[in-house]
Structure formats: structure tokens, C-alpha cells
Amino acid sequence: MGKAKYDFSSFSELDFYKKVNTRLIELAEVDKLAKIIELGCGTGGVTELILDRVNSAKNTVIYAIDSSATAISTSLSRLESRKEAILKFIQTEAQNLQNTVKDQVDSVIYCNSIHYINNKMDMVNQIKKSLKKGGTFAFNTSFYSGSHPPETEIFLRKWMLKTIRLLKKRYGIMPVKVKKVESRVQLTPDNYTELILSNGFYIKEKEVIEVNVPLDGWYHICSFRDWIEGVLPGVPLSKGKEILQETVKELFDEMNIKTLQRNWLSVVAVKK
């Protein structure tokens, strides 16, 4: 049996997730762009959506950056046959952007990953330096203050209670208590606006998309390492995944629901 990867690929294949990112890419008008940096490219789901839209193999370069070696290697094998652009995959922290890509580009795309960064001021400043004047910075995130609608909190609380009870009963283990790391301290949409404006951008589009996430979405996110480690710190990944998937299914049944809402903040900004 192959080694479990606990990566983002099964989640990134889901229709609703592709729609959210497609919307951002369309707002950023990537089909008109020649040089693109994609930060936090993961297993290549968004890179693929970008490739579907670019129209000149000769002139388009995509620098796709992720800190995870396994995610980069999945992206490489997944996209090796794509010829619509020159693809340059780079395994490094997004925070090393200025030392990594010397080119100035037309667009920086950053899907569902900016919330990992502690020093967002420095990150956005680096992104600005990487862009040509008039270049576009487009990002989205579902980890910001306001991404959980208040009416879903009861579900999330019940889910965690069920999970912790079952973990204890089946395996005799509990998550460990950890101090909140800076990246888990979530910004509000207004904080993001301030961050962008104070770095010399103007905002072209900013929207909150209300997404009715089906059971599939919640089920597949439970196979992603960062999610398991975030909600069940210290719990072995295989056990965390098993219990979280079991309890989320049970709870959807018990509460007789088909979807649970989550909001995505989506911003397209232009360098002045």
C-alpha cells in the first residue's frame, strides 16, 4: 500500500472549490497576462485553472511556489504534459519571494494560503516589489475573521466534541493544548484592506463569497495535514483523519443537513 500523503489534492478537485478559485482568476484576468507568480500552489489545482486560461505558450511564464516538497512533486507530475506556459516550480517559503524570483511579473495569485504567513505586512510588501507597475495581486482565503458564519458555530462545536470523545474512546488519546500561533490569528476583511492599501495598491475588486460547502468538502479537508494538525494538534494524522471523517458524516446525518456554509474573502488589488 502507498504511503498516505495527507495533501490538499482531493479537496482541490471539488467543484465548489474550483468555482471559487476560477472566479478569482477571472477577476484577475490572467488570460491577458504574460508573467505570473502563484504563491502556495500546493498540488497544482489552481495552477491547472490558470493554465486553462492562458493563451500564449511562448510568452507565458508561471513561477509556482510552495514550501512543501511533496506538494511540488505532485504538481510536477500532474502538470508535466501541459504546454500552455513555461512552468517553473520552486520549493521554498513564500516569505523568500524576493530572493527567489528576480523577474517582475504581471500578476501574483495567492489562493487559500496567505493566512499561513505571520508577517503579512512584509509578505505584501515583497509581492508589491515583485509586480510591475499596474500589476495585479489576487488572493482569496477562507481563514479570516468572519469566514465561519455565526449560525454554523453550533455545528463546529458539536463536531469537535464528538471527535474528542471518539478519539478518547477508541484510542485513549486527546489533542494537546497549544498557544495560538500568529498565522491562526485571523484578520478581518478590513484588516486585509488596510494591509493592501498601506502597501501602495488600490483595490479593484473585493468580495465575500458565501459558499454552501457540501459534506464532500468537509470530508476531504479532513485528509489534509494542515487541517488535521490545526484542529487536533499532537494527534497522529491517520487517527485524526479517520475520526474527523467519521464524525463529520455522522453529524451531517444527525442534523439532517446537506451543506454547511463557509465564506471566502476574495481580493484583487493593483499596484499603483
Ligand X SMILES: C[S@@+](CC[C@H](N)C(=O)[O-])C[C@H]1O[C@@H](n2cnc3c(N)ncnc32)[C@H](O)[C@@H]1O
Contact with ligand X (CB under 6 A) among 25, 27, 45, 106: 45
Which of the stretches 53-61, 106-114, 130-138, 148-156 binds ligand X when contact is defined by CB under 6 A?
Answer: 106-114
Minimum distance from residue 65 beta carbon to ligand X (Å): 6
HEC profile for 107-163?
Answer: EEEEECCHHHCCCHHHHHHHHHHHEEEEEEEEEEECCCCCCCCHHHHHHHHHHHHHH
Binding characters for ligand X, 3-22, by CB under 6 A (x = yes): -----x---x----------
DSSP-based three-state secondary structure for 56: coil
Pick 112 or 167: Cβ nearer ligand X:
112
Pick 66 or 167: Cβ nearer ligand X:
66
Q: How many CA atoms lie within 13 A of 150 on its CB side?
A: 0
For 209-258, the DSSP string reads: EEEEEEHHHHHHHTTSHHHHHHHSTTS-HHHHHHHHHHHHHHHHHHHT-S
Contact with ligand X (CB under 6 A) among 28, 36, 46, 138: 46
Contact with ligand X (CB under 6 A) among 25, 51, 85, 94: 94
Scan residues 59-88 and list those touching ligand X (CB under 6 A). 65-68, 71
Please identify the residue of the shown chain whose CB is closest to the bound ligand X: 42
Minimum distance from residue 128 beta carbon to ligand X (Å): 17
Nearest alpha carbon to residue 226 among 2, 1, 3, 5: 5
Can residue 217 be called a binding residue for ligand X (CB under 6 A)? no
Residues lying near ligand X in the complex (CB under 6 A): 8, 12, 40-42, 45-46, 65-68, 71, 93-95, 111-113, 116-117
